[in-house]
Amino acid sequence: MRVAFDATALLGARTGVGVFTAEILNRLADQEGIDVIAFGVTWKGRAALAQALPPGVGLARRPMAARPLRAAWSHSNVAPIQWWTGPIDLVHGPNFVVPPSRRAASLVTVHDLTCVRFPELCTRDTLEYPGLIRRAIRRGATVHTVSQFVADEVTAHFAIAPDRVVVIPNGVATTDDSAPREPRERTELAPGGRYVLAVGTVEPRKDLPVLVQAFDLIADNDAEVRLVLAGPDGWGADALTEAIAASPHRSRIVRTGWVDDRRRRALVQHAAVYAYPSRYEGFGLPPLEAMAAGTPVVASSAGALPEVLGTGAELVPPGDVAALAVALGRVLDDEAFAASLVSRGHQKALDYSWDTTAGKLGELYTRLTTSGS
What is the pLDDT confidence band of residue 13, given thresholds at 50, 70 and 90?
confident
Sheet harboring 2-6: ordered strands across? Answer: 58-59, 35-39, 2-6, 90-93, 105-110, 142-145, 165-167
What are the phi and psi torsion angles at 9 (to 5°)?
Answer: -65, -10
Q: Tell me: pLDDT of 353 over 80.
A: yes
Distance between CA 122 and CA 312 in Å, rounded?
A: 29
pLDDT at residue 86, rounded to an integer:
95
Domains 2-171+353-371 and 195-349 share a fold: yes
The residues spanned by each domain of the chain are 2-171+353-371, 195-349
Task: Say what angle helices 285-292 and 335-349 make with each other, to 10 degrees.
Answer: 110
HSE-CB at 285 with a 13 A cutoff on CA atoms is 19
What is the pLDDT confidence band of residue 372, given thresholds at 50, 70 and 90?
low
pLDDT at residue 235, rounded to an integer:
79
Given a contact cutoff of 8 angstroms between Cβ atoms, the answer to whether 132 and 73 are in contact is yes
What is the pLDDT confidence band of residue 124, given thresholds at 50, 70 and 90?
confident
pLDDT at residue 250, rounded to an integer:
95
What is the pLDDT confidence band of residue 185, given thresholds at 50, 70 and 90?
low
pLDDT at residue 186, rounded to an integer:
45
Q: Per-residue DSSP letters for 247-297?
A: -TTGGGEEEEES--HHHHHHHHHH-SEEEE--S--SS-HHHHHHHHTT--E
Dump pLDDT digits (tens) for 193-222.
899 999 988 989 999 999 999 999 999 999
Given a contact cutoff of 8 angstroms between Cβ atoms, the answer to whether 313 and 152 are in contact is no
Q: What is the mean pLDDT of residues 16-38?
A: 94
**The CATH number of the domain covering residues in 2-171+353-371:** 3.40.50.2000
Distance between CA 202 and CA 235 in Å, rounded?
A: 7
The per-residue pLDDT of the chain, averaged, comes to 92
What is the pLDDT confidence band of residue 261, given thresholds at 50, 70 and 90?
confident
Distance between CA 318 and CA 297 in Å, rounded?
A: 15
Q: Tell me: pLDDT of 187 over 60.
A: no
What is the pLDDT confidence band of residue 179, given thresholds at 50, 70 and 90?
low
Which has the closest alpha carbon to 32: 363, 353, 368? 363
Dump pLDDT digits (tens) for 160-171.
999 999 999 999
Asked: is 195-349 a CATH 3.40.50.11540 domain? The reply is no
Dump pLDDT digits (tens) for 33-85.
999 999 999 887 777 898 899 999 999 988 888 889 888 888 888 899 999 99
**Cα torsion angle, 254, 259, 263, 269, sign:** positive
Would strands 297-300 and 314-316 be described as parallel, antiparallel, or unpaired? parallel
Q: Tell me: pLDDT of 135 over 60.
A: yes
* Percent of the residues in the chain that have a pLDDT greater than 90, as a whole number: 77
